[in-house]
Amino acid sequence: MVGVITFDKENISHRIFKANLDKADIVKIIKVGNNLEVELNTGEKIVLDDYFLGEKPKELVLETANQQYFLVNFQEFNAEGVATKVDYLGINDFQDYLSEGQSTVAPTWAWVATALSIIGIAASAGSSRGQHSNNENNNENNEDKTGPIIKYDILDNSHIQISTDEASQIVILDANGLQIGSGEINQAGNIEITLTRPLQDNEVITITATDNTGNKTTELVNVGDVTDPLVEVNIIDNSTIQIISNEVGSQVEIKDETGKIIGEGVVDSNGQVSINIDELLNDGDTIVVNVTDNAGNNTTEVIVVGDVTAPIISAEIKDADTVEIKSNEAGTVEITDSDGHIIGRGFATGHDAVNDIQLDRPLADGEIIIVTVIDASDNHQHMQLTAGDVTAPHFVTAEVNESGTTLTITYNETIDSSNLPVADDFIVTVGGIVVNVVGINVSGQDVILTLSQAVTAGQNVQVSYTDPSVNNDSNAIQDIVGNDASDLSSTLVNNNSTVATADSIAPQLQSVEVNPAGQLVFHYNETLDGNNPPNANDFSITVNGQTITPSSISVIGNNVFLSFIPAIGIGQSVTYSY
């Protein structure tokens, strides 16, 4: 609900508005244009129309549930028009206040009692907490019946500066009525009081000043934000500092040890800010971090910089499975691929010692990797490497040429022709029998072995190769950058030889007969050499017990023909041997 009070804009009289409220009922008082708006904790709002218009004053008086009266005295408004400092001045007798006001201000203003406007907003039940200001004049017959005028400044959560216009005893109570501070001003002036305990944000305290005649002035004060920000300083690296604070919107200022500002920022809605400073930090530097919240509370942290220097590293890809690392300081090593997957871990021993890091998988030619060394202070150093030719040659096939004199082993890439393997690295078997390698030659992707004897058609040929060591050897089957081919287990070779197999088995006699022509015929199991027949003396022949000598010998196909003069007759007995 909104209550609006309107009066003449000419402001021909001094007006006093009385509201039936406790101070605890008020959430906020704000100046909106020429109007005064009072927002209540019930959600209701009082609007005093044209309160600030004209030269004649308007005053707002609160009447509490226990019939205490307070004059609302506005001391300060912020840029948004919100009253940030309000004094509640106690009125001992409201009617007397009206009559005194008439005699005090006349003839400047004409006070009209009937001009008093009553704002009927009922105070919430139980809202009076006994903490309201009250100006008490203990000696009404004394001419000094006015309490001291109090001004105060909350310096921080432990110190309050109070000034009065006359000598006064100062007492400060918390909301529970416990005294948390006191002091004495001997004459008009000020005093800084150190409290017996720190204040909490938005705590309500009571400040009472009592002059020498016993007149009191009481101020009920909401101390607002009086707590210094909580601050955590994290030095990320030598150029980045992270500040974490519980006070969003706090201003952050970073200075070096000479007092030069090297970084500034504002704590964001997540309670942190990362600041890239203007100059690089060195190990052992001193920096000063100031964090100031929106209420002016400040926290200062003096930080001695630890190890903020990243390791100095070098790295080299030795082969598809190994990366060589050097670092000036000890640290853990992580190697990641272009997708961010870790493919190798290890440790750098520092002092630029060489450390080999074995990868979890072989690298591919042209692959990009990131080498990271992290020292004991979590400083990271990164280095990007691109793999060259790190893949060893792979066996494709092997074959014997048509002449049967060479065996060629083919790989998937060009082979180094200047640093050849040795003959003892190979084993060649033909028909299960080892054949010596008497020459080695490389042409493009081929390793050509010259054999000590020709392979004939149809023979079973196998070849194996043994790499001299697990390292990249100077003499081995290797590509042009020195990647050694791996061992080749005994592998069947394609035999393209057209060389006939030699006949090493003697002809076998099948039968012997005398043909109708009286010739003695020897039948064999294979074709015989007709150009080189045996001699007649190689045979022993008897006919009817008489030794006879063949007159001629001829070889036709599988048969050997022995002719006699006279020819062997029918019914004669014949014996033979060869």
Q: What is the CATH number of the domain that holds 197?
A: 2.60.40.3110
Residue 133, pLDDT score: 41
In sequence order, which residues have a C-beta less than 8 Å from that of residue 331 and are 6 or more positions away? 311, 347, 348, 350, 373, 374, 375, 376
Q: Domain of 371?
A: 317-378
Give the three-state DSSP class for 115.
Answer: helix
**CA–CA gap between residue 565 and residue 548 (Å, rounded):** 9
Q: Answer yes or no: do 518 and 550 share one domain.
A: yes
Residue 123, pLDDT score: 29
Amino acid identity at 109 = W
Residue recorded with tokens 């004669």: 572
Q: Answer yes or no: do 351 and 401 share one domain.
A: no
Residue range 401-423, pLDDT digits in tens:
999 999 999 999 999 999 999 99
Q: Answer yes or no: do 403 and 366 share one domain.
A: no
Strands in 520-524's sheet, in edge-to-edge order, are 509-514, 520-524, 559-563, 552-556
Q: Single out the residue in 222, 250, 271 at which a domain terminates.
A: 222
Does 563 map to a domain? yes
Nearest to 333 by CA among 351, 302, 311, 366: 311
Cβ atoms 325, 348 nearer than 8 A: yes
Residue 6, pLDDT score: 43
Does 383 map to a domain? no
Q: How far apart are the first and last CA of the chain?
A: 146
Q: Answer yes or no: do 88 and 183 share one domain.
A: no
Domain count, the chain: 6
Does 309 map to a domain? no
**Section 221-229 average pLDDT:** 91
Nearest to 196 by CA among 219, 230, 172, 214: 172
User: Alpha carbon 170 to chain centroid distance?
Assistant: 58
192 burial via Cβ count (<10 Å: 0-12, 13-18, 19+): exposed
Q: Answer yes or no: do 17 and 104 share one domain.
A: yes
Cβ atoms 527, 430 nearer than 8 A: no
Tokens encoding 416: 């180094």
**CA–CA gap between residue 496 and residue 454 (Å, rounded):** 12
Q: Answer yes or no: do 171 and 88 share one domain.
A: no
Amino acid identity at 369 = I
Tokens encoding 419: 């640093």
At 3, is the pLDDT very low, low, confident or very high (cuts 50, 70, 90)? very low
Question: Quick check: 128 pLDDT over 50?
Answer: no
In sequence order, which residues have a C-beta less than 8 Å from that of residue 448 and are 6 or more positions away? 406, 407, 408, 409, 440, 441, 442
Q: Answer yes or no: do 10 and 89 share one domain.
A: yes
Residue 143, pLDDT score: 55
Question: Is 119 or 460 the better-scoring residue by pLDDT?
Answer: 460
Does 390 map to a domain? no
Residue range 516-572, pLDDT digits in tens:
999 999 999 999 999 999 999 999 999 999 999 999 999 999 999 999 999 999 999
**Section 351-370 average pLDDT:** 95
**Section 272-289 average pLDDT:** 95
Residue 132, pLDDT score: 36
**CA–CA gap between residue 70 and residue 88 (Å, rounded):** 6
Q: Answer yes or no: do 370 and 421 share one domain.
A: no
At 103, is the pLDDT very low, low, confident or very high (cuts 50, 70, 90)? very low
DSSP state of 282: -
Residue 354, pLDDT score: 96
Residue range 144-155, pLDDT digits in tens:
678 899 999 999
- Average pLDDT over the chain reads 86
Q: Single out the residue in 304, 326, 360 at which a domain terminates.
A: 304
Does 133 map to a domain? no
Q: Answer yes or no: do 329 and 351 share one domain.
A: yes
Q: Answer yes or no: do 15 and 99 share one domain.
A: yes
Question: Quick check: 56 pLDDT over 80?
Answer: no
Q: Using a pLDDT cut of 70, give the percent of the chain over it.
A: 89
* Pairing outcome for strands 15-19 and 117-119: parallel
Tokens encoding 331: 């640290």
Which residues is 255 bridged to in the sheet? 261, 288
* Pairing outcome for strands 58-63 and 15-19: parallel
Q: Single out the residue in 205, 222, 239 at which a domain terminates.
A: 222
Q: Answer yes or no: do 29 and 10 share one domain.
A: yes
**DSSP symbols for 494-522:** EE---PPPP--S---EEEEEE-TTS-EEE
